[in-house]
Amino acid sequence: MHTPFIVALDFPSKHDVQQFLRPFSGTPLFVKVGMELYYQEGPAIIAMFKEQGHAVFLDLKLHDIPNTVKQAMKGLARLGVDLVNVHAVGGRRMMEAAIEGLDAGTPSGAARPRCIAVTQLTSTDERMLHEELWISQPLEETVSHYAALAQASGMDGVVCSANEATLIKERCGASFLAVTPGIRFADDSVHDQVRVVTPRKARALGADYIVIGRSITRAVDPLAAYSRLQHEWNGGETE
């Protein structure tokens, strides 16, 4: 359905976003709106993207009691977003409630936004998992368990590192979506990401969608960087 390239619009204001999007005028993108932008600009920014023909992943990572998540999701579905997410650690009932809310809020005739779960944040390492969160299982097994729980709770997929995509696909099946951030071109700066993967490698590992931010948004020529992404995803080499 949508392009597999989700561009993370981590900008502080509508003005900055509009400036970034100018060269893409006429090209429908799949954009990710996170807390930074959404908490400043609110639902109006979503309406703007939809009017411009872009698909929207609203990345708010909901985590609360089931009823609160259900009511919040009802409102998000009314915005016409295409993809939303929750934290799997909220548990089965909360994830089921998220889907109930999305079903209830989706306008008749429209498709329900898809919903994916965060298993463990990529900023969580083994030490933090054991010492701070007091989860005794290894990180990889925890991720795999949360992915299976998310699937059993009706989620359409998970956000995960591309390095975990193969494991998740083996456990949950090919149609369970793997949406993977931490993408960098081979000659890029890693920034604050720890384990990064190229677009081509992410595809080979089983990613359905890749989330890419600074490699596009901070590129000298964002349009050229986006073309390179398409080229590499399709197996092309870059000199």
* Cβ-based nearer residue to ligand C5P, 105 or 181: 181
Measured CA to CA, the distance from residue 17 to residue 13 in angstroms comes to 7
Axis-axis angle for helices 162-172, 139-152 (nearest 10): 50
* Cβ-based nearer residue to ligand C5P, 66 or 181: 181
Output the six-digit token pair for 69. 């998540």
Long-range contacts, 168-174 (Cβ 8 Å, 24+): 168/143, 168/144, 168/206, 169/206, 171/144, 171/147, 172/147, 172/148, 174/206
175 φψ region: left (φ > 0), alpha (ψ -120 to 50), beta (else): alpha
Shortest distance in whole angstroms from residue 162 CB to ligand C5P: 11
Length of the chain: 239
| Site for ligand C5P, residues 104 to 123, rule: CB under 6 A | 121-122
Quickly list H helices, 52-185. 66-78, 92-105, 126-127, 139-152, 162-172
* Cβ-based nearer residue to ligand C5P, 10 or 82: 10
Measured CA to CA, the distance from residue 47 to residue 51 in angstroms comes to 6
Among 66, 105, 157, 213, binds ligand C5P (CB under 6 A): 213
Pairing mode, strands 83-87 and 114-118 = parallel
Q: What are the distances in angstroms from CA 70 to CA 77, 101, 103?
A: 11, 4, 10
Among 7, 17, 34, 55, binds ligand C5P (CB under 6 A): 34
User: Which residue in the list 14, 32, 50, 61 is annotated as catalytic?
Assistant: 61
Give the x-and-dash track for 172-211 against ligand C5P (CB under 6 A): ---------xxx-------x-x-----------------x
21 binds ligand C5P (CB under 6 A): no
Burial of 151 (0-12, 13-18, 19+ CB in 10 A): buried
Shortest distance in whole angstroms from residue 109 CB to ligand C5P: 31
Shortest distance in whole angstroms from residue 118 CB to ligand C5P: 6
Shortest distance in whole angstroms from residue 69 CB to ligand C5P: 18
Among 8, 17, 55, 229, binds ligand C5P (CB under 6 A): 8
Shortest distance in whole angstroms from residue 57 CB to ligand C5P: 10
| Site for ligand C5P, residues 133 to 162, rule: CB under 6 A | 159
Residue 61 annotated as catalytic: yes
Using CB under 6 A as the criterion, which residues of the chain lie in contact with ligand C5P when the complex forms?
Answer: 8, 10, 34, 121-122, 159, 181-183, 191, 193, 211-215
What positions carry a catalytic annotation?
A: 61
